[in-house]
Chains A and B, each alone.
Chain A
């Protein structure tokens, strides 16, 4: 990998963004990259909009991704991903969970509408019903983020080996949840 790789993940508080951040950065450390990440804690997490940044490569300074410089934007909720639109450029991949968490008292933004808007920056949009797949196949949807990340590694959308992702999952998630996360990983492999 010649240049730094920049990821922005969006979603809402409680969707496990910080866990994903940990997994990606541990996987990047396994591959000996320099890493910087940024996250927010506290009241800003209570069900509000959340955005985390992960950058890895040879030498990383800023923990925040610059505008128009994201290589990958992962949206764990299909409306929230719009908030990251200006981190994208024409080559950015949007990897989006086809899943809406309504904003109280607001009309939901449809996925068609979201895609139309995102296309103003990049046409590389993957809309995947990760929550639904995990719910159907595993009985719960909480691992949707792990599904998207594993999927990204099998599809080579993220320059980290799938094996590194799996090792990082093992390192980061509590033991009692490892099995369901591993199953999610396998499921992404099958579909990826």
Chain B
């Protein structure tokens, strides 16, 4: 069979294509961005004949996906972990209604926060919260296989299925077997089915019962599925692992020259509990190797009372694993010594930097000239301009989640008399900044909001957004801001430093909300 080196995210695309996906919606976010980027490219060069969109945010990507599924199309919705928070309000009832067209939700977590501010979220919690069947691939080949399996589970049980990856899976490459891509139809049809698609009480409680029944039925499949498999030879010490951790376990055994029995969990939810019970029966020691919160470990503690269970007492709950963390945990429980020669160097940190020529240099420089840095509060948001928090800028006093700079600014301005400036990018403004601006106008607070409009969603790899000039019929941010009733509004190219500085000074003293749209394209937009 033909093999091609694919990134985990590209393998997800390949799996979806081989499944005959017809509708794809996403919002870019590392480590999931290449899923959207690849579909975008393939949709432009007509390699993908279905429908693709970069939605404005993940909730809308999910809702678009739900609409496509209700119309009978095979649908993929992709996002990073925080996107799952944004779309959860739409996702949870989707489990109740179930799907019409098979639907897979691809979610990438980022243990160690390599490319994520805000938190080290473990999206497996949503598996319980939403009762969403969840598969966890370890490598790109499994990414492709599990996506296909997820589509077939979804098709059979009329339920959305989640495929959860992590950075080291999404950004891992390996040779992946390539199969043929079926021809697809591009239109579906919505057929009225009120009993299924309307979540009104009292029907909604029946729907929940039906959902729980589906999960029970699916667990009969996952109990027997090959994606939960055992390797190694007989021993009283056994290992249970999932996701990327499994690869470190196998690596560790190779290095320690041992061959303990390992149960690799491919379906995190529903967990193959009977298989698990049989596997740990008679074991004296059980090591559970999973990154972040110990969900599988907790399940095992519930079913085993005799064995000694190791998990988060040996392995960290914060940060990602690497081969050493797993090797040393396994070495400890089998009483083997490992020798490591480590040299401690105190190296200066090389912070990521704004690119040479980035318009944000001009914006941050002007701010520093216009306002007293010590006494002004600086609100941060999600985008390249988060680098305001690093030297040499160091102007970022809070940072939470997409669009939050404005909502939090409003709360601070209602609580304190201090001067406050927030930064929000064009993509982030469209994503979740707009309702917060409406709220600040409606509830009358007066932050100075600088929309740093570099005409593209830059940080995640230059995807188009509704305001980007590459978007035909692009929406003008100034028209939105005006329509919201903001009276103090100026559009300034920050290269005009004098005007920019004076406007900041002026607007920071206003009694109502002020907005400066600091408009200058990202250097990469100019290059393109």
A and B held together in a complex:
yes
* Chain A contacts to B: CB under 8 angstroms: 12-13, 21-22, 25-26, 29, 34-49, 60-68, 79-80, 82-83, 85-86, 89, 103-106, 109, 117, 120-121
Q: Identify 10 residue pairs between A and B in the complex whose beta-carbon atoms are under 8 Å apart, listed by A's number.
A: A36-B139, A36-B173, A38-B173, A40-B171, A43-B115, A44-B115, A47-B355, A48-B352, A48-B353, A62-B323
| Known contacts A35-B173, A86-B342; A66 and B392 CB within 8 A of each other | no
B256 to chain A, nearest CB (A): 11
Besides A43-B384, A44-B115, 20 other CB < 8 A contacts?
A29-B3, A41-B34, A42-B115, A42-B461, A44-B114, A45-B352, A46-B353, A46-B355, A61-B248, A63-B168, A63-B172, A66-B323, A67-B324, A68-B341, A80-B350, A86-B340, A86-B342, A103-B348, A104-B392, A117-B343
Task: Tell me, yes or no, whether B425 is within 8 Å of chain A by CB.
Answer: no
Known: A63-B247, A67-B324. A39 touches B171 (CB 8 A): yes
Q: Provided the pairs A46-B352, A48-B351, A85-B345 are in contact, do residues A41 and B173 lie with their beta carbons within 8 angstroms?
A: no
Instruction: Give the shortest distance, in Å, between A35 (CB) and chain B (any CB).
Output: 6
Q: How far is the CB of A26 from chain B (nearest CB, A)?
A: 6
Which residues of chain B have a CB within 8 Å of any CB of chain A? 3, 5, 30-31, 33-34, 114-115, 139, 167-168, 171-175, 244, 247-248, 250-251, 254-255, 322-324, 327, 340-343, 345, 347-355, 384, 386-387, 391-392, 459-461
Assess the B327–A46 pair: CB atoms within 8 A. no
Task: Write out the residue numbers on chain B whose beta carbons fall within 8 Å of the beta carbon of A29.
Answer: 3, 5, 175
Taking a contact as CB atoms under 8 Å apart, the answer to whether A106 and B115 are in contact is no
- The answer for the CA separation of A86 and B323 in the assembled complex, in Å, is 13
Option from B34, B322, B340 in Cβ contact (under 8 Å) with A64: B322
Q: Are B31 and A37 in contact (CB under 8 A)?
A: no
Report yes or no: B355 in contact with A105, Cβ–Cβ below 8 A. no
Residues of B within 8 A of A22 (CB): 5
Contacts of B31 in A (CB 8 A): 41-42
Q: Are B391 and A105 in contact (CB under 8 A)?
A: yes
**Bound CA span A80–B347, Å:** 9
User: Can you name the residue of chain A whose Cβ is closest to the Cβ of B341?
Assistant: A68
Contacts of B247 in A (CB 8 A): 36, 61-63
The docked-state distance in angstroms from the alpha carbon of A50 to that of B173 is 17
Give Cα A83 to B3, complex, Å: 34
| Assembled-state Cα–Cα distance A86/B33 (Å) | 31
Q: How many whole Å from A128's CB to the nearest CB in chain B?
A: 22
Interface pair A121/B341, CB less than 8 Å apart = yes
Write the chain B residue with the least CB distance to A101.
B350
**Min CB gap A81→B, angstroms:** 11
Asked whether B355 lies within 8 Å of A66 as measured between CB atoms, the reply is no
B-chain residues with CB within 8 Å of residue A68 when the two chains form the complex: 340-341
Q: Provide the residues of chain B in CB contact with A49, threshold 8 Å.
A: 349-350
When the two chains form their complex, are residues B387 and A66 in contact, meaning their CB atoms are under 8 A apart? Answer: no
Q: What residue of chain A has the Cβ atom nearest to residue B320's Cβ? A: A64
Interfacial chain B residues near A13, Cβ < 8 Å: 352
Bound form: Cα–Cα A44–B384 in Å: 11
State the Cβ distance, B104 to closest chain A Cβ, in Å.
22
Query: CB within 8 A of B172: which of A38, A85, A104?
Result: A38
Tell me the minimal C-beta distance from B458 to chain A in angstroms.
10
Q: Which residues of A contact B341 (CB under 8 A)?
A: 68, 86, 89, 121
Assembled-state Cα–Cα distance A121/B340 (Å): 11
